[in-house]
Amino acid sequence: MSGLKAVTSKIEPFLSGNFQSKRQMYYAKLDNTESLSNKGLYHVEKASVEELPKLVELLNSIPEFSGGSFTVEKRKHGMEKGVARSYYIERDGIFVSSASTTAENSSSAMIVAVCTHPDYKKKGYATECMTKLCLDVLQEGKELCLFYDNPEAGRIYKNIGFKDIGYWMMYKF
């Protein structure tokens, strides 16, 4: 189960059984391009279906994502349905950073899987991928949301212009 803490806190007392885990994260949104600049983003590319193997390889190399179920098939399905997209930076023939959306609809999109390969951190790559992704989605008239619990990631999101609007809860049974 996952959702806004304001909602899940009302449901939690009625859940039977123990949770395997309970995780609280910040929930943030961005609805304008005021703090975003397209300057210097020429090396950020939008992933195509053909590039999904390299994207999945990057995602599966990120220690924080261990246990995730990243597959080419799942990514391809989301792209083909028009509910997901990914942007990346490539160096030395490998994807080194990326940011993606999921659950896109006519008015919003959720940011997921923001990452940088451990050997390429602290170069601004995640910020650049996020900025390009956010600009493109916002220019389509959609709002963006995300949830996070990593303070380093939170700094990136806030520098881009995301505002915390509450808490997101995730329960595993």
Superfamily classification of domain 2-172: Gcn5-related N-acetyltransferase (GNAT) (3.40.630.30)
Q: What is the overall mean pLDDT for the chain? A: 93
Q: Is the pLDDT of residue 66 over 80?
A: no
Looking at per-residue confidence, does 15 or 160 come out higher?
160
Residue 17 confidence class, pLDDT cut points 50, 70, 90:
low
Interval 123-144: pLDDT, tens: 999 999 999 999 999 999 999 9
Beta strand extents in the chain (DSSP E only): 2-4, 21-30, 45-46, 85-91, 94-102, 108-116, 143-148, 163-172
Q: Is the pLDDT of residue 14 over 70?
A: yes
Mean pLDDT of 6-10: 92
Scanning the chain, the segments in alpha helix (DSSP H) are 5-11, 52-60, 72-81, 125-139, 151-160
